[in-house]
Amino acid sequence: MDRAEIEDIFQSLGPVTIRRMFGGKGIYCDGRILALEVGGEIVLKADGQRAPAFEAAGARQWTYTRKGGRSAAMPYWSIPDDAWDDPDVMARWVRLAFEAASRAA
């Protein structure tokens, strides 16, 4: 996913900073990491308060395989499908991710 596509997803928050990390990209707003781009997919930060909403919307928690083959779940979730067709819905999920990032700071 290129910079313009990423900026479009997060436009409701204002400017975002995009940095390379772990073979993907970290997406920051106001110095807080709120999303990752991994393998062409954006995953949004969700904490204990917001993860249930992501799960209820059909989002998948991001996991990766550690050395030794064990799987590790991370506090990032896929963007629910309905957000891709509606900028207002996308803005809601992006705001939830920013709230989670703010609480983690």
Statement: residue 22 has pLDDT above 80 = no
CA separation (Å) from 72 to 15, 63, 69? 31, 5, 10
Q: What's the one-letter identity of residue 102?
A: S
Specify whether the CB–CB gap between 100 and 35 falls below 8 A: no
Rounded mean pLDDT of 6-23? 93
Q: How far apart are CA 28 and CA 18, in angstroms?
A: 6
Domains and CATH numbers, the chain: 3-104 (3.30.1460.30)
pLDDT digits (tens, 9 = 90+) for 29-78: 999 999 999 999 999 999 999 999 999 999 999 998 888 889 999 999 99
Instruction: Give the full edge-to-edge strand order of the sheet including 24-29.
Output: 17-21, 24-29, 32-38, 41-45, 71-78, 61-65
Whole-prediction pTM value? 0.92
Among the listed residues 48, 45, 74, 79, the one whose alpha carbon sits nearest the alpha carbon of residue 62: 74
pLDDT digits (tens, 9 = 90+) for 23-41: 899 999 999 999 999 999 9
